[in-house]
Structure 1
Amino acid sequence: MTPTQHAALDPTSPSTSLLTDMYELTMLQGALHSGAAERASVFELFGRRLPSSRRFGVVAGTGRLLEAIEEFVFTGAQIDFLRTAGIVDDTTLDYLREYRFSGTIRGYAEGECYFSGSPLLTVEGTFAEACILETLALSIYNHDCAVASAASRMTIAAHGRPCVDFGARRAHERAAVAAARAAVVGGFVATSDLEAGMRYGIPTVGTSAHSFTLLHDSEEDAFTAQVASLGPSTTILVDTYDIARGVERAVKAARGAGGELGAVRLDSGDLVAEAFKVRAQLDALGATTTRITVTNDLDEYAIAGLGAAPVDSYGVGTKLVTGSGRPTAELVYKLVEREGTDGVMQEVAKFSEGGKATVGGRKWAGRVLDTAGTATEELVLSAREQGEALGALKREGGRPLQVELVRDGEVVEEHRGPRALTAAAERHRAARAELPYDAWRLSEGEPAVPTRHLELDGRTALRE
């Protein structure tokens, strides 16, 4: 049984259909009554601008969205709720009972970098089918792209030292699972969250907290117990009391079990100064292979400040799962094309003042590289046909960025599951490496590359 079939038959299943704003369904009701619900439509998910201080964004949440779309069905219990609460009328409820997304979704492959105006998703279907996916798509992408973008900045600052997600206790329990996945897209290598480990195949890490040390009658007893349970290669938290004594006792406990201590963790104080002192102490004790990992409210700036210190890895919590001050990617989902009464597709756009206008028409995107392989601009092309758009992108020197994610309602399998997450992390490393040096700066500034919009007319000629 497929996830969709299971969700449809089991009223206790994790259907995603009510993870939405009410107005999605009231718009559907209005469109059903006006006769416009079945008009072919094209929606795009994009950001008008990058969040302040971000020089590039990272696409994340793709795999989660695809799973959520498969589970976007209306169960009997949900239909009963909508009827009892008076949300929509019987005609709309009849439509929702049979709802399945049967359209096509294209988008940036997960892990790609993106910029202002980048069409991260293009959703094609009837208005009824595509409209009610808006809130679901935005909630997943706005969260996951924000976390992945923060994670990317942190791994830039880490200069190759591993970063681990320790944010489970700093977020909603389900958001923490999503954040762990998004962090891997941005370059993190492991998580403390076991649900994320089981669901997405992410390596999990963790040993003990201060409470474990405080539980025992002495620090020596606590360290001996930990080593006996987890082995000498464990990581011991050494700053419950005096750090220097803690380091000495941790090394002694590991050697008493016949091995060398794997790592010590520092979670308080002046981390730079303490890291130097601990490294010197470990070396003096002959524990030259024992590593140092640091935690304690780290962000990309704190990690950068530790760059010269003898630190081997970082555990990041609050600032990771909250997007390091940018908890949303500020993405929107807008109708850009719809079928007219004559059956011909027509461009539509919002012309509001105050920076909220949109660009009508279906978009295709490419990244233009110079001869050295460095990105120089994001090219966003308005065109009706994919073949015309790809030809124009090729002439402009653009690397196509969009891939097919859903085809006639069926998810393209390669874009979900643990292997898709691994591919997304690898894709991000490659995409980030294409960006100019300014993209790697942590200071505030303009996007690393500008976005250029072009329109393709009927004679396959480009005009700005």
Structure 2
Amino acid sequence: MTTRTRRDVPSTALLTDHYELTMLRAALADGTAHHRAVFEVFARRLPEGRRYGVVAGLGRVVEALADLRFDDDQVAWLRATGVVDDRTADHLATYAFTGSIDAYREGEVYFPHSPVLTVRGTFAQCVVLETLILSILNHDSAVASAAARMVTAARGRTLLEMGSRRTHEHAAVAAARAAYIAGFDATSNLDAGFRYAVPTRGTSAHAFTLAHVDEPAAFVSQVATLGAGTSLLVDTYDTAQGIRNAVAAAGTHLGAVRIDSGDLADEARRARALLDSLGATSTRIAVTSDLDEHAIAALADAPVDTYGAGTRLVGGSGHPTAGMVYKLVAIADAPGPHAPLRPVEKTAAGKGSMGGRKIAYRALDDQGGATREIVVRHLPGAPGAGPGRALQTAVVRDGHVVHDPGLAEIRAHHRAAKAELTATDLDLAPGTPRLTADPTDIGNLMGATA
């Protein structure tokens, strides 16, 4: 991986676990460090009740790899604390990833045992990437998977990501990006807008209303500055009176009112009726307050135009971990680029893995619907065509990024991938994945074993 010239960008090298470097230390000592290796990222199962997952975070993985360098002060600290010895310190001082990565495109849907990402290089190059890759993919895919369910529940209505105050400050930016990939329309987080061009929205909180002598004064001030098309938060005191004050301040062309408390379905119906009676028939209604896909679905018949989701989207209860793991699946028994790879696999009960590098395809019917998830072991030199739509794409080759799509392309790919799913797959009720690459069904393509 080529290093950025901007050395002021923080290094991502120590966003890892202690044992990654102790494994490296031992592998350098016995020579295994220089053997070719293949690692795969996959989930043995989806979170309980989930029928599909959404891959997100690949672009952030590429960013993190570009900044993965062991700076002098980091290496000195690792040596001083005894985490590494001199040989390992010297190795880290010149570390650069020059291997290859293949992965599911961001926005792709995945199922148990899908080979979401494959890393190839020397054991020394690949082993130190485990924690960094998993921390990004597990977080972002979990948020994107929750967001995709909310998009289904919203049935085309506007969705705003508003979870910045409910998670770590940097996780908030990643969550906003992941939610946008899965179909949210905008975020409240300005850094997500600055860094990733995610559209941002926001007007005011209860504090703005409370800071004025009364609600009418607050609304007049906001409209004077932001225009009649703004959204006014109307439930600081009494929602019905707040709506009257909002229309009085902005006129019948008021952009929207936001309701953040109470029985949202009932409040929305009352608000719609009152707005219409006041002549504000085009004023939209936005609701917020700990929404998840089930709460949004319950509001399907209510006159709601916009949903704002935060806590249940970025918080642990809203996005149970994707549970992805990073496992060695093939290793050479000697150094050198032409040493043959030997499949390896973990056999522990409940935590097994299948040896050998895999290639994944999704079989489609005549209408473009997904019918089967096919995962086969890689055969070097086999024809490129496979039994369905190829799910992995080349992302990094010889350390150089070859796949770097923009968010518009990623969002479009997600919509296309999700469109291949059935109503059963998209059902919000707890269920099991219809499509799964069961390890017992993973076979060889033309008899290959590695």
Q: TM-score, normalization: structure 2?
A: 0.96
Change (3 A) 1:413 1:378: closer
Unaligned stretches of 5+ in structure 1? none
- Label 1:194 to 1:377 Cα distance change in 2 as closer, same or farther (>3 A): same
Aligned residues of 2:313 and 2:319 also touching (Cα < 8 A): no
The letter for the 1-side match of 2:425 is A
Q: Does 1:407 align with 2:366?
A: no
Alignment check: 8 A CA contact 2:379 2:448 kept: no
Measured after TM superposition, the shift of residue 439 of structure 1 is: 1.1
Q: 2:420 aligns with which of 425, 434, 438?
A: 434
Query: Equivalences for 1:31-110 in 2 at 5 Å?
Result: 31-110=27-106
The CA distance in 2 between the partners of 1:246 and 1:413, in whole Å, is: 50
1:124 maps to 120
1:298-317 equivalences in 2 (<5 Å):
298-317=291-310
Corresponding residue of 2:153: 157
CA distance in 1, matches of 2:81, 2:224: 58
Question: Contact 1:436/1:448 (CA < 8 Å) preserved in 2?
Answer: no
Q: Which residue of 2 aligns with 1:282?
A: 275
CA shift digits 1:393-414 (9 cap, x unpaired): 23xxx11011001011011253
Measured in 1, the distance between the counterparts of 2:404 and 2:210 equals 48
User: Retained in 1: the 8 A contact 2:312–2:319?
Assistant: no
The answer to whether structure 1 residue 246 and structure 2 residue 242 are counterparts is yes
Q: Give 3-state SS (helix, strand or coil) of 1:435's partner.
A: coil
Q: Deviations over 1:217-274 (max 9, x none)?
A: 110000001111111100000000111110011011012xxx7210000000000001
What secondary structure sits across from 1:387 in the alignment? coil
What is residue 348 of structure 1 aligned with on the other side?
A: 344
Work out the CA distance in 2 between the residues paired with 1:345 and 1:19: 29
Give how far 1:386 is off. Answer: 6.1
Over residues 257-306 of structure 1, what are the superposed CA-to-partner deviations in whole Å (9 max), with x where a residue is unaligned? xx721000000000000101100111111111100000000000000000
The 1:205/1:216 distance shift into structure 2, 3 A limit, reads: same
2:315 is aligned, of 319, 322, 346, to 322
Question: Who is 1:361 aligned against?
Answer: 356
1:176 aligns with 2:172: yes
Q: Which has the higher helix share?
A: 1
Unaligned runs of 5+ residues in structure 2 are: none
Partners in 2 of 1:37 and 1:321 — Cα distance? 38
Moved over 4 A (4+): none
8 Å contact kept, 1:454–1:462: no
1:379 to 374, 383, 396: 374
The secondary structure found in structure 2 opposite 1:340 is: strand
1: CA distance, partners of 2:254 / 2:434? 43
Q: Identity over the aligned pairs, expressed in percent?
A: 54
Letter in 1 for 2:69: V
| CA shift digits 1:135-182 (9 cap, x unpaired) | 000000000000000000000000000111000000000000000000
What is the CA–CA distance in structure 2 between the aligned matches of 1:441 and 1:267, rounded to whole Å? 27
Which of 415, 424, 432 is residue 410 of structure 2 equivalent to? 424
Q: Which residue of 1 aligns with 2:143?
A: 147
Is 1:4–1:72's contact at 8 Å kept on the other side of the alignment?
no
Q: Which residue of 1 aligns with 2:201?
A: 205
Instruction: Kindly indicate whether residue 273 of structure 2 is the aligned counterpart of residue 273 of structure 1.
Output: no
Displacement after TM superposition at 1:63 (Å): 0.4
Question: Compared with structure 1, are the counterparts of its residues 321 and 350 closer, same or farther at alpha carbon in structure 2 (3 Å cutoff)?
Answer: same
Q: CA contact under 8 A between 1:104 and 1:409: conserved in structure 2?
A: yes
d(CA) in 1 for partners of 2:288, 2:380: 51
CA contact (8 A) 1:366 1:379 kept: yes
Q: CA deviation at 1:461?
A: 5.1
Amino acid at match of 2:329: V
Cα distance in 1 for residues equivalent to 2:99 and 2:263: 55
Verify the 8 A CA contact 2:145 2:319 in the aligned structure 1: no
Q: How many residues are aligned here?
A: 443
The structural deviation recorded for 1:84 is: 1.9
Give the corresponding residue for 1:222: 218
Structure 1 residues 5 and 99: alpha-carbon distance in aligned structure 2, compared to 1, 3 A threshold: farther
- Superposition deviation, residue 6 in structure 1: 3.0
SS of the residue 1:42 aligns to: strand
Q: Is residue 285 of structure 2 the alignment partner of residue 292 of structure 1? A: yes
* Residue number in structure 1 paired with 2:431: 445
Comparing 371-380 with 312-321, greater Cα deviation is found at: 371-380
Choose from 20, 42, 45 the match for 1:24. Answer: 20
Whole-angstrom distance in 1 between the partners of 2:194 and 2:367: 41
Aligned partners of 2:297 and 2:340: how far apart in 1?
Answer: 54
Superposed displacement of residue 83, structure 1: 1.6
The letter of the residue matching 2:123 is: F
Aligned to 1:298, what secondary structure does the other structure show?
coil
Residue 233 in structure 1 maps to residue 229 in structure 2: yes
Deviation by residue 1:179-219 (Cα, 9 ceiling, x = unmatched): 00000111111000011110000111111111111111110
Residue number in structure 1 paired with 2:444: 456
Shift of 1:344: 1.6
